[in-house]
Structure formats: C-alpha cells, structure tokens
Amino acid sequence: MYNIFKIAARNLLRYKRRTLLTSILITLGVVAVLLFVSVSGSFKSLMVGQITDSMLGHLQVHRKGYIASIDSLPLNRNLQGKQVAKVKEVLDASPEVEAYSMRIKLGAMFSNYNETTNIRINAVNPKQEQQASPMLTGRILQGEKEGLLDKGEILVPELIAKGMKVKVGDTIVLVATNKDGLVNGQPFVVRGILESISGPGGRDGYIHLSDAKTLLRIDKPEVSEIAIRLKEMDTLPDVLANLKEALGGILNKQGKPVFEVHSWEKLSPFSKIAAMIDLMTLFIKIMLVAIVLVSIMNVMIMSVYERIHEIGTIAAIGTSPSKILALFLTEGLLLGILGTLIGLVISLLAIAGMNVSSISFDFGRQKDLLLAPVISTTDVLLVVGIVIAVAVIGSLQPAWKASRMNPITALRHV
C-alpha cells in the first residue's frame, strides 16, 4: 500500500507543472465553495436571526384564518380567554420553548395634533416580549432601553417618527376602532424611536398590553398572536409538529380547527431568499464537482496515455490489473487531496481574515450589518469528502483503461 502511494506520488512529481495546474484548479473550486458557503451562510443566519429574534420569533400561534387576513389586523380573529389558556398550557409543558410573547395587534391612527397617519401597533407585555424577541431592545435608537416600555408609553418606528416629526418625550394620540365599531383615543408619551428592519413587523410600533385593553375596551383577556422563541433553532421542525398535533386537533362547534401554527419561514418573505441562497450553494457545489471531475479526468487520461509503454511493462512482468487500477486511482486521489488541502488552508485563512477585518454590508434599509463568516466542520468535511470522492471517480475510467491494457499492444506503443 505504501509503495503504491510512493509510486503514485513520484509520478505526480514527474509532471510538476501539470500537477500544480490541476491542483490550483481544484484549490480554486474548493475556495469558491467554502467562501460562498461561509459568507452566504453567515448572511443567512444573520438575517434569519434578526427576523426571528427581533420580531417574529421562531413560531407563531394564531386563531385559524388570522394570517390570511393579517394585513387588516382583524380584531375579531383574536384568540379568546380559554383558547389562550390552552396554548399557554401546551407551551409551558414544552421543554424546547425558551419564551413566548402574547400580543394584541391593531391598526390605529397616529396623531401628533397637527397631522395624522396610519400605524400598526403591537401591544405587548414588555417582560415577555423582551424574552421572546431579545433583539428588540437593541433596535431602540433613541430613548431609554431598560425595561423596554411602561404603561402610557409608545415605541415609534423610525419612519413614522421622521415623517411626523416626533421626538422622545413628545405626546401623541392613538385612535383605534374596536371590533364593535366603537372609536376611542388615548394619549401616549414617546418612549423611544425604533430602527426599521427587513421583514414583516419591521416597521411596527409598540405599546403596553394593558393600554391596548383600555384603548380597545377589552375586558376579557384576548390575544392576536403568540410569538414563540425556542432554545435551539434545530428543534423547530419537532416543536412545530408537536404544536400542530397538540393544537391542531382542537375544533370549534362548527367542527373547524381553532388554531393555526406557523414557523417563521411561512411568515417571512426572507425564507425565499434563504431558499435561493441554499439553491445557489447547491449550484456552486455542482460546479465544484464538475471542475474536479473534468480536471482530474483530463489529467489522468493524459497520464495513462503517456505511460502506455510503462503500463505494458508492468503488466508484462505480472502486475495484476487490480494493482494497476489502484496505482492510477491513488494518483487521482493524491491529486484531489493536494488540491483540497491547499484550498482548505486558503479558505480558512480567508474566513479568519474576513472576521478580523470586520466587513460590513447594507441590506435593504439596514446599514452596517457585520459580516461574520463561519464555516461548520460538517460543511468542511462535506466539501473535502465530495472533492476527494469525485477525484477518485474521475480517475476511474482512465485507471480502468490502464488496467485492462493488453501488455503486447501497450509495449508496442510508442
């Protein structure tokens, strides 16, 4: 075995330039894939993290049909007392759930006493909301962050604050219509200005849950949306399935389901972008496979062709076809390993370099998102495994041809 490696390695060294060029090609492919995987992966997880951690949560529970008409924030599709209690019971019993926030969502008129505009409001319990959306506090651009918000206060989204020229400490009025058609107004002090983010709810305002109850004249507990944060994102599919099972079976008097459960992917258009990124990653991996396959095959076909006479010699003196096959496969394997190792080192250095130089980028309205590319061991092993396997596969046909050569024909070849 050692000797097969020795002979294969020496044959690679015999054609230094060719070996170098082929390994550079493989190296480039490996670097391209690893960098793309790490950069796009960190972009993806950054965006996903932002969406889930500052607004959506990982999962949401609503009254059946709420999401279909979410644009109008229908108050008549809120979950009622018993239903809320049921969800609470299920969530409290799930060990994977880190926190959840119960929100009333409403549309209101926002008035600064001079002008009026529309605003979408989330009424929340500040403690719950901070636990379920840990990045929300970080979005407060001006104003006191500690404690998020108190009764009588409002967090105003950046765009409305600018458009309506309101500052922290100003008083504004929210006017809302409840589900019975009664109109009511209530003054709020601007507690803070909220940075906009991409995704649904990224430009909503926040008030205290108890203010919503007085504004909308709700006496019984009632909730539009329950946003759930998990301890580990990996458990999402399981928890989703469990919740669907636990809540999906509950029917109303008409025999229709009461609840609907959605994962963040169903609620955010960014999941489409994430899926595109995954697709592009796949394409780039396919390109890598093609590059490695073609370059290795090409070089091994040349290798076999140039050494026909030599193959004839070793076959004549009794080297078995399987040894000849192994000899050429090993050559392809070593070439693959060489290219991969160099590519791996360059990629890891580049990723480390990007982290050190803190590269930032803009996405949509957001500025200065910090790019922190990471690559998982799984991804590294996968790419390394694919390249090495493809290198062997690419050598298979030429090696097979070499092993099947008739020694006399091969010896006569010049």
Partner 1 sequence: MTIVAARQLTKEYVAGDITVPAIRGVDFSIEAGSFVSFVGPSGSGKSTLLNMIGCLDPPTSGSLEVVGKDVAGLRSSESARFRGEHIGFIFQDFNLIPVLTVFENIEYPLIMVQNWPVRKRRQQVERLLEAVGMQDQANKYPGQISGGQKQRVAVARALVTNAKLVLADEPTANLDRDTANRIISLMKTMRDEFDTTFIFSTHDPKVVKNAEIVFALEDGLLQTESNGQGGSHV
Binding site for partner 1 (CB under 8 A): 3-4, 7, 10-11, 13-14, 309-310, 312-321, 323, 406-408, 411
Residue 175 burial (10 A CB sphere; 0-12, 13-18, 19+): middle
Our CB check for partner 1 shows the closer of 14 and 365 to be: 14
Our CB check for partner 1 shows the closer of 15 and 363 to be: 15
CB 148 within 8 A of CB 95: no
Residue 338 C-beta: closest distance to partner 1, Å:
17
* Distance, C-alpha 23 to centroid of its chain: 32
Residue 233 C-beta: closest distance to partner 1, Å:
53
| Alpha-carbon torsion, ordered 231, 157, 48, 200, to 10 deg | 100
- Torsion sign, CA atoms 310, 313, 316, 322: negative
Neighbours of 243 (CB within 10 A): 22
Residue 23 C-beta: closest distance to partner 1, Å:
18
Cα 411 to Cα 154, 306, 315, 351, distances in angstroms: 89, 12, 9, 51
Our CB check for partner 1 shows the closer of 124 and 327 to be: 327
Our CB check for partner 1 shows the closer of 238 and 306 to be: 306
Beta bridge partners of 205: 121
Contacts of 144 (CB under 8 A, 6+ apart): 191, 192
Contacts of 304 (CB under 8 A, 6+ apart): 311, 328, 398, 399, 401, 402
Residue 399 C-beta: closest distance to partner 1, Å:
15
Our CB check for partner 1 shows the closer of 214 and 320 to be: 320
CB 264 within 8 A of CB 200: no
Query: 235 phi and psi, to 5 degrees?
Result: -80, 0
Residue 322 C-beta: closest distance to partner 1, Å:
9
Cα 88 to Cα 81, 102, 226, 241, distances in angstroms: 11, 10, 9, 17
Residue 52 C-beta: closest distance to partner 1, Å:
58
Our CB check for partner 1 shows the closer of 320 and 360 to be: 320
Residue 320 C-beta: closest distance to partner 1, Å:
6
Our CB check for partner 1 shows the closer of 2 and 219 to be: 2
